[in-house]
């Protein structure tokens, strides 16, 4: 990793010499450029990332700037083509627009089967649903557990949908990977490094959600953990960040979509449901996500949001809203070079539901 050291105002030549010797002792080269009041030392070669922190703590040093990125496998610099993840024929990445839909939590076989039918009918490719729920307070509903994984796998198989579910701890990775096609890492676990490392040891695709206060750089470094372990099948998911604005649950940062796509070759999915926390914003922000170039969307949909067990109904679409949105996205996608090409079931599925 290349870096640049900027000295404080009027540091003595002796001190600069000491800093240079310190750098060169680590086995890399230092180039000194003297300015009128500050000196700049360029470090070229394969320096350890921690060298920057050490230098920063040395007397006479004002700042140290890392020039190369700390992630490599996630970077487009070394992998110019888009990663396209192929799961049982569904392609995620590149010009494909993938739609994932479903409830916050799996509640019963009937619930997940009915929702799967509606997701498929509307044109979705992936069924989402939580079996284990990360809840901010200990007294809330915590999910139905492994039973939920089985219910969702059956519903997915029956209706021809891939499935995605959240995994929260390393020891559950294997069982979740047995039942689901995609494993989701939640926003609070983006820097659960043991979990990331474990996910690097398998080949099941991972949808990694951005930490709600994580920078793009930290996000890509978290992806790097999984890639470095040997699993190349990683999708990035923007799901809203925490800001001073509390009207929306989070601030969906749509600039993240083109930024991450320029820094990285990995597919970028948008989550307008958690990103806004309000049902009425899911439709406009889904369209905006696609217009910004997203490779896919993950959307909460529920047949009875007022009675969902997690209370996340407030951000869930009704099935008819979900179906209408997908129809509209199908028209929008080609204008931004995306293909939205899944055979639809006949519209009666919804007629039935509406009854």
Mark residues 246-275: x for contact with its own copies by CB under 8 A, - for none: xxx--xxxxx-xxx--x------------x
State how beta strands 3-7 and 39-44 pair: antiparallel
Q: Which stretch binds its own copies (CB under 8 A): 109-117, 149-157, 177-185, 224-232?
A: 224-232
Reduced to 3 states (helix: H, G, I; strand: E, B; else coil), residue 271 is coil
Examine residue 54 and tell whether it contacts its own copies (CB under 8 A). yes
Least spacing, CB of residue 184 vs its own copies, in Å: 16
For its own copies, the binding residue among 209, 239, 279, 338 (CB under 8 A) is 279
Instruction: Give the whole-angstrom CA distance, residue 184 versus residue 112.
Output: 18
Least spacing, CB of residue 58 vs its own copies, in Å: 6
What is the CA angle 288-259-251, rounded to 5? Answer: 50
For its own copies, the binding residue among 306, 343, 346, 355 (CB under 8 A) is 306
Identify which of residues 55 and 85 has a Cβ nearer to its own copies in the complex.
55
Examine residue 137 and tell whether it contacts its own copies (CB under 8 A). yes
What is the 3-state secondary structure of 178-244? HHCCEEEECHHHCCCHHHHHHHHCCCCCEEEECCCCCCHHHHHHHHHHHHHHCCCCEEEEECCECCC
For its own copies, the binding residue among 42, 109, 160, 232 (CB under 8 A) is 42
Q: Which stretch binds its own copies (CB under 8 A): 67-75, 93-101, 109-117, 158-166?
A: 67-75
For its own copies, the binding residue among 31, 86, 201, 341 (CB under 8 A) is 31
Examine residue 208 and tell whether it contacts its own copies (CB under 8 A). no
Q: Which stretch binds its own copies (CB under 8 A): 35-43, 111-119, 120-128, 152-160?
A: 35-43
Instruction: Give the whole-angstrom CA distance, residue 140 versus residue 310.
Output: 8
Instruction: Give the whole-angstrom CA distance, residue 156 versus residue 149.
Output: 11
- CB-based contacts of 209, cutoff 8 Å, min separation 6: 184, 185, 186, 187, 190, 237, 239, 271
Instruction: Give the whole-angstrom CA distance, residue 209 versus residue 29.
Output: 38
Examine residue 241 and tell whether it contacts its own copies (CB under 8 A). yes
């Amino acid at each position: 990793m290349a870096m640049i050291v900027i000295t404080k105002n009027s540091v003595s030549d002796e001190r600069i010499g000491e800093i240079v010797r310190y750098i060169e002792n680590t086995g890399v080269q230092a180039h000194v450029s003297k300015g009128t009041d500050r000196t700049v030392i360029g470090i070229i070669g394969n320096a350890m990332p921690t060298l920057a922190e050490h230098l920063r703590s040395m007397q006479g040093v004002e700042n140290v700037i890392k020039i190369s990125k700390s992630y490599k496998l996630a970077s487009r610099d070394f992998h110019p083509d888009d990663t396209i993840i192929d799961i049982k024929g569904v392609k995620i990445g590149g010009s494909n627009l993938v739609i994932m839909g479903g409830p916050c939590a799996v509640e019963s076989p009937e619930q997940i089967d009915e929702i799967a039918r509606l997701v498929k009918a509307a044109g979705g490719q992936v069924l989402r649903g939580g079996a284990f729920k990360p809840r901010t307070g200990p007294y809330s509903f915590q999910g139905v557990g492994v039973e939920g994984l089985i219910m969702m796998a059956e519903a997915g198989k029956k209706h021809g949908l891939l499935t995605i579910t959240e995994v929260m701890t390393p020891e559950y990775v294997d069982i979740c990977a047995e039942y689901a096609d995609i494993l989701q890492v939640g926003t609070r676990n983006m820097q659960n490094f043991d979990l990331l490392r474990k996910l690097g040891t398998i080949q099941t695709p991972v949808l990694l959600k951005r930490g709600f206060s994580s920078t793009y750089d930290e996000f890509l470094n978290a992806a790097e953990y999984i890639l470095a372990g040997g699993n190349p099948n990683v999708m990035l998911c923007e799901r809203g960040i925490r800001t001073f604005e509390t009207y929306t649950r989070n601030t969906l940062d749509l600039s993240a979509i083109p930024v991450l796509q320029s820094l990285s070759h990995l597919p970028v999915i948008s989550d307008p449901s958690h990103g806004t926390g309000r049902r009425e914003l899911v439709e406009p922000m889904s369209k905006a996500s696609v217009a910004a170039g997203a490779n896919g969307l993950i959307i909460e949909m529920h047949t009875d949001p007022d009675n969902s067990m997690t209370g996340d109904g407030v951000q869930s679409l009704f099935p008819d809203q979900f179906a209408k949105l997908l129809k509209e996205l199908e028209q929008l996608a080609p204008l931004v070079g995306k293909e939205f090409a899944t055979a639809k079931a006949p519209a009666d599925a919804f007629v039935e539901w509406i009854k």
